[in-house]
Structure 1
Amino acid sequence: MPKHPGRTALYRLFNAAGQLLYVGISHKPDVRWGQHSENKPWWPAVDRRVVEWHDTRSAAEKAELVAISQEQPLHNKVGTPALTISGTTGKTPTRPIRVDLGMWAEFGAATQAMGTDRSAALRAFMAWYVNRPSAPLPVRPFDSAQPDSGGSK
């Protein structure tokens, strides 16, 4: 373990043929590998691990996205087309989120019906959730199963 807790490992996992299976980051890669071994079906194929330390988690996150984008590991989901690196400086970085695909589709349809998109709706909800000043509770699309909220139609 490095002396500086901000330091973060970028690790690559390879199979016996040298194929890149997975790229990840962790402050404690040994612990993370133990987690992978318990829940990743591809883990038994791991033959070799390569670790590269970065001074900050932010630096490791950036290096991870570049590595995934350029090296195309077999089992990564983050950093693939669902989470791409923005070429525009100053943009907020994207973040992965795990959501049931059916719910994700429903959410997309609902936000589209409200004239917005998933990202805007999630940001509005998060601003309300953490009590940002003047952040209203986001409006949900009308659902006939829900009781009227007090106003007439």
Structure 2
Amino acid sequence: MSKQTALYRLFDENDRLLYLGIARDPESRWKLHSDRQTWWHLVARKTVEWYADRDAAKAAEKQLTAREMPLFDKANKKAAEAVEYDDSKERARVVAWVLDQVSVSQPNWEIGVGSAARACGTSRTSARHAMYTLTREGGPLRGGTQGRFIVADKTPGRRSAA
């Protein structure tokens, strides 16, 4: 017997449809989106409609995606507006925030991806990508496992070189 499946929509603050998807557990799916989608911080409102089973939800998703054309839905090949979100400004904010944190922290201090994302008003994905750039070529961070980075060095002048 198939389980109920939700069809959910994600909207921005201007009520523009960002994404439409299906899941048996929307809350868990949203957690995955928050970890993986650079546009997640744009989500201001969510709606959920329940269907009797996955097949019914999948059929509705296909029909609605073609009609409503969510902005960030890669599955919607017909959506002329389907785009990749450019998170370069968000990444730059994260880099600046991390460098400020490094300037007042001790070596081996941990900086979490979630903390950086919340502080900078961006997605965890954008924060993670930005923080990884600071691990390269002698940058002030090392690590990056399980969403945690470690302050590697507080060498004077390092900040201006990054």
TM superposition score normalised by structure 1: 0.49
Higher helix share: 2
User: Which has a greater percent of strand?
Assistant: 2
Give the TM-score, by structure 2 length.
0.47
The higher relative CO (CA closer than 8 Å, separation ≥ 6) is in 2
- Larger Cα Rg: Structure 1 or Structure 2? 1
